[in-house]
Each structure stands twice: as C-alpha cells, then as structure tokens.
Amino acid sequence: MRKYREDIKLIIRVLIYGAIYFIISKIDNPSFIYFTLALWIIYGLKTLYHKIQYRKGYADYILIPTRNDDFFRIASLTLGAIIFFISIYILIITSPLMNYAVIGIFLGLLIFFNGILDLPKGKMHIKENILKLYGLKDPIDIKHLTKIKIANASILLLHNNEGSIQAVNFNINQVNAELINKYIFDNMVNAELVVVNDIK
C-alpha cells in the first residue's frame, strides 16, 4: 500500500482542485470570487518565491526527483496556458468580465511560470538528526539507523535492530545520489551511518 500512497494523494489532490473550481464556477458572488482568486494568486506567488529561493541555494533541505514530477510540471504549464488564453479571449469579447479576465491573465502566467521553474517533489530534511523524507509517514532519528541504501526508485533505511523501512516512488540518478549522500553527511551530528549507492 505504501508504494501507491503518493499516487493516491496526487489523485485526491487533483479531484479536490476540480471540485473547488466547479463550486466556484457556480457561485454568483463577485466578492467571494475575487477573494478566492486572490488566495490562489498569493499561494502561487509564495510557491514561486520558495522555488526561486531553493534554486539560489537558500534552503536547509534537499529535493529528490520522483515519478510524478513530469505530471506536475506538464499540468502547471498546461493549466497556466489554458487560463491565460481563455482570459485573453474573454478580455477581447466580453467587457463586463474584464476584471476577471485581467486577474485570469495574471493567474495563468503565474501558474505557467511555476511550471517552468518546477522542482522535484521528493523532499528530504534533516534537523538535529531528525530525518523527514518524502514517502515516509513519520520522521526518523538518524542515530537509530545503521545504513541508508539509495536505489533508482527507492531509499531504504536500516535500523539498529535489523528492521527496515523503505520510501518509494523516486526517480534517482547518479548525480542525485551523490547530492543525497553529501546532504546526509553535512547535516547529521555524532551519528554513525553508512550510505550505500545502489544506482544502476
């Protein structure tokens, strides 16, 4: 079940976005629509800001490629372009909806540029030896681990008591594996840990 957890989350997220859009389209209340569009724009600007900051190196976490990254990037580019061109069309032919069209143009461009600057969705964060990893429900203390095995589609964590837990759905290459290895050793404190590179 853990293998498909992220895919299920993705499907649910898309369905929620679709439901929100359908509900908004049925509401005849300009103030509410303006408020909702403003929230989306604020969220889009915040997301874009974090992407730019990460690309500049101002982040204490690392992002790892996943199988769903292409879907998110293409979805953002497609949705942004659709909203932009529909808004342009409305702006040209429908004067009463001019305000919505202008907001739509800005929102479409914002979504589109978020797609252009899209980043991997697999987040790894280590702080005070507590590891949080995409695909794992609970954080893990690195001091309780003896080995981390990095493969193309998964990261396997081995515990002191010979138990293990696996995070899947990744799309890791050799460069990613080296960055993960460096990030782990740069951020763990007084922990004995072996990182194995099983990338093929």
What pLDDT does 3 receive?
A: 46
What pLDDT does 72 receive?
A: 83
* pLDDT confidence bin for 66, thresholds 50/70/90: very high
Mean pLDDT of the chain: 84
What pLDDT does 5 receive?
A: 56
* pLDDT confidence bin for 173, thresholds 50/70/90: very high
The verdict on pTM exceeding 0.95 is: no
What pLDDT does 30 receive?
A: 66
Q: Is the per-residue pLDDT at 67 higher than 80?
A: yes
Q: Higher confidence at residue 98 or residue 120?
A: 120
* pLDDT confidence bin for 63, thresholds 50/70/90: very high
What pLDDT does 129 receive?
A: 92
Least confidently predicted of 98-107, 136-145, 191-200: 98-107
Three state DSSP letters for the chain: CHHHHHHHHHHHHHHHHHHHHHHHHCCCCHHHHHHHHHHHHHHHHHHHHHHHHHHCCCCCEEEECECCHHHHHHHHHHHHHHHHHHHHHHHHHCHHHHHHHHHHHHHHHHHHHHHHCCCCCEEEEEECCEEEECCCCCCEEHHHEEEEEECCCEEEEEECCCCEEEEECECCCHHHHHHHHHHHHHHCCCCCCEEEECCC
What pLDDT does 18 receive?
A: 55
Q: Tell me the pLDDT tens digit for each residue of 73-83.
A: 888 888 888 88
What pLDDT does 68 receive?
A: 86
Q: Is the per-residue pLDDT at 10 higher than 80?
A: no
* pLDDT confidence bin for 2, thresholds 50/70/90: very low
What pLDDT does 6 receive?
A: 52
* pLDDT confidence bin for 174, thresholds 50/70/90: very high
Q: What is the mean pLDDT of residues 50-71?
A: 92
Q: Is the per-residue pLDDT at 14 higher than 70?
A: no
